[in-house]
Structure 1
Amino acid sequence: MSTAPAAAPTLRTNLADYAVTRAMKDGRVRSDLVTLDFCGPTPAHNGFKAMVRENAFDCGELAIVTYLQAKAYGKPYVLLPAPISGRFQHHCGGFNLDFGHLDPKDIEGKRVGVRSYAQTTGLWIRGVLRHEYGVDLDKVTWMTLNDGHLAEYSDPANCIRLPKGSSIPDMMMAGELDAALLGEDMPKDPRVRTLVPDAHAAAKAWYAREGFVPINHMFVVHESLSQNRPDIVREIYRMVADSRALAEGVPAVFPPLGLEANRKGLQAAIDWALDQKIIPQRLSVDQLFDDLTGSLG
């Protein structure tokens, strides 16, 4: 543990309650070097736009797609090799069987709802549909509720904004949308089927072949912190690692710590984000980090 300086800085932190972050948030993992003020909104993704548009936070979690866009548009944040959340996404595309069975390619020419085109869950499930099942994503009309987190970003031409206040799950159940890409919001209804056949078995087979769990959110810090207080950045990483070590109920397969351990997953996120017109140019995995953060772990 570091020796306490005269005044440990307090950092505005946007971080949700997950199994892997709970010990940081409940005080079991603490620091003499820095105080994390968990002042972000609930859910934490409601703070992502303010983070990348207004520098509203010094550190915290950020969706990997939002971070890729932030990097592409020159925003002052740097990635720590510390996933905060991740999961298989094969089960996150669904449809209502009342309106007919859909195989993955059947969504071509149809209307599919997704909260935001640049949402990370959307990236991963669209990538699975494209690369595993041959779906032409350009032939789908993506019906969205929200814009992206980056002001500089615009959705592709085959996106249409739904009226404010629309419910994508309700519209899917009513047949107003042919299918939807939904994470935890998928209706718990016996009529709902996954677009990916036998989704959990498909995810297991995919993991056996590809060897990584799709990353949702990772920890980021403001670049000024990394440049001026590398000791604090190392300390934050230590806190994340210690909190993960105390976590209970984490899935047996979960994105690991470390740059190299996450390289394949991050490369897939970059490749798929470029392919889906979410980022304007190719990035390298190493560009996502600086010399300090890339060496952590």
Structure 2
Amino acid sequence: MTSSKFDLSLAISDNERTRPIIDGLVDVDGIRLLSTVLHPSEMFWRQLKFAEFDVSEMSLASLFIAASRGDFRWVAIPVFTMRRFFHTLAFVRDDRGIEGPADLKGKRVGVPEYQQTSAVWSRGIFQHAFGLDPRDVEWHMERMPDMSHGGATGFQPPAGIKLERIPPEKNIGSMLASGELDATVLYLNEPNLIDRSRMDLASVKVIRPLFRDVVAERRRYLRETGIYPINHTLVMRRELLERHPWIALNLQTAFQKAKDLVFRQTWGAMQPWIEAGNVNAADNLRQPPDPMPYGVKAARPVLEAIAQYLHEQGLTLSRVDIDSVFAPSTLDI
């Protein structure tokens, strides 16, 4: 009966894999979720800064950074709500002689937030695959300390990193259009409380994607590394897990059911699957396998890669132990 369920507040973004949870098509055994649908930029800031929700989607990088600094308020559940090849979403001005990531050396490059997971992945891939040291770039960050992930986790620019704050009256889009920036590793212009850019970059003829063939680069990266980058996971209050250990697997099971339901109904229509499907089609792969499995065991190589990049880039004090971050009952999934 509904009255016997355990109420938990949930902050989540709306996508194909989470919608069955949001719409109530998939229930969580023993739990009634009180859902708030938010843009990730706002959600992560609110959760890291104010701890508003019992369960929420969370930036993987910010979670690992917090844990490395002794903040264990959150325990992760290996439900990965965002996976994309974000390094292929960089934009450049076409008049700056930039043909690949290595050409960003010495350039002025925008980033919504230096510690965000997509930026960590991009810098790690640019360094390991293309030889671009993050210290050789002049970074310009849009988000201000009072409304950012880093403001809640004590972010300071790592040693050797040149980082400037974009003034409030400007943003990444306006500075790219004016020529004050040469490139950006990510562009977020969806309306939300955190990100200021609103310009449609497609309207600026001099701006183009860094990779002229983004699909080819996604194919290359996945073929050579086997990694489909994870950006977001699910977290819950650690105090809740300690009092009610059963919650973790019940949530894991429900979110897995939601994803399975969507995969059965609209396998080819999901944006992340489109990205991975481009790769798999090139290699004559068919469904299954699942291109974005949930679970620590299934995703361990990807999780270890982001932990490595975070430490290499000076954002975590030590390399985070994956098993210390995720709920113990989920480690063998």
Same fold (TM over 0.5): yes
Of 53, 69, 80, which residue of structure 1 is paired with 2:49?
53
Give the CA deviation at 1:9: 2.2
Equivalent residues of 1:121, 1:183 under 8 A apart: no
Query: Is 1:212 aligned to 2:235, yes or no?
Result: no
Of 295, 311, 315, which residue of structure 2 is paired with 1:278?
315
Corresponding letter in the other structure for 2:310? A
Alignment partner, residue 138 of structure 1 = 135
Alignment partner, residue 226 of structure 1 = 241
CA deviations 1:148-171 (Å, max 9, x no partner) are 513322123411111014220221
Mapped to 2, the partners of 1:104 and 1:52 lie a distance apart of 31
Percent identity for Structure 1 against Structure 2: 26
Mapped to 2, the partners of 1:179 and 1:6 lie a distance apart of 54
Corresponding letter in the other structure for 2:301? K
Of 77, 88, 91, which residue of structure 1 is paired with 2:88?
91
Of 150, 153, 163, which residue of structure 2 is paired with 1:151?
153
Q: Number of aligned residue pairs: give it.
A: 292
Alignment partner, residue 66 of structure 1 = 62
Distance 1:98 1:236, change over 3 A: same
Alignment partner, residue 284 of structure 2 = none
Equivalent residues of 1:99, 1:175 under 8 A apart: no
Distance 1:243 1:165, change over 3 A: farther
Mapped to 2, the partners of 1:216 and 1:46 lie a distance apart of 15
Between 61-70 and 23-32, the greater mean CA deviation after superposition: 23-32
1:98 is paired with a residue whose SS is coil
Distance 1:133 1:284, change over 3 A: same
Give the CA deviation at 1:67: 1.1
Mapped to 2, the partners of 1:274 and 1:34 lie a distance apart of 37
Equivalent residues of 2:85, 2:228 under 8 A apart: yes
Give the CA deviation at 1:7: 3.3
Structure 1 residues without counterparts, runs of 5 or longer: none
Between 45-54 and 132-141, the greater mean CA deviation after superposition: 45-54
Alignment partner, residue 174 of structure 1 = 178
Mapped to 1, the partners of 2:136 and 2:217 lie a distance apart of 24
Mapped to 1, the partners of 2:41 and 2:31 lie a distance apart of 24
CA deviations 1:142-189 (Å, max 9, x no partner) are 100124513322123411111014220221122110111115547225
Alignment partner, residue 167 of structure 2 = 163
2:112 is paired with a residue whose SS is strand
State the TM-score, normalizing by the size of structure 2: 0.81
2:153 is paired with a residue whose SS is coil
State the TM-score, normalizing by the size of structure 1: 0.91
Between 16-25 and 88-97, the greater mean CA deviation after superposition: 88-97
CA deviations 1:215-267 (Å, max 9, x no partner) are 11111111122221122222111110111012232315342111111101101
Alignment partner, residue 124 of structure 2 = 127
Give the CA deviation at 1:100: 3.9
Distance 1:17 1:224, change over 3 A: same
Equivalent residues of 1:13, 1:58 under 8 A apart: yes
Query: Is 1:188 aligned to 2:184, yes or no?
Result: no
Query: Is 1:268 aligned to 2:264, yes or no?
Result: no
Mapped to 1, the partners of 2:36 and 2:214 lie a distance apart of 37
CA deviations 1:33-76 (Å, max 9, x no partner) are 11111135x31330212212332111111011111112112231
Mapped to 2, the partners of 1:97 and 1:210 lie a distance apart of 29
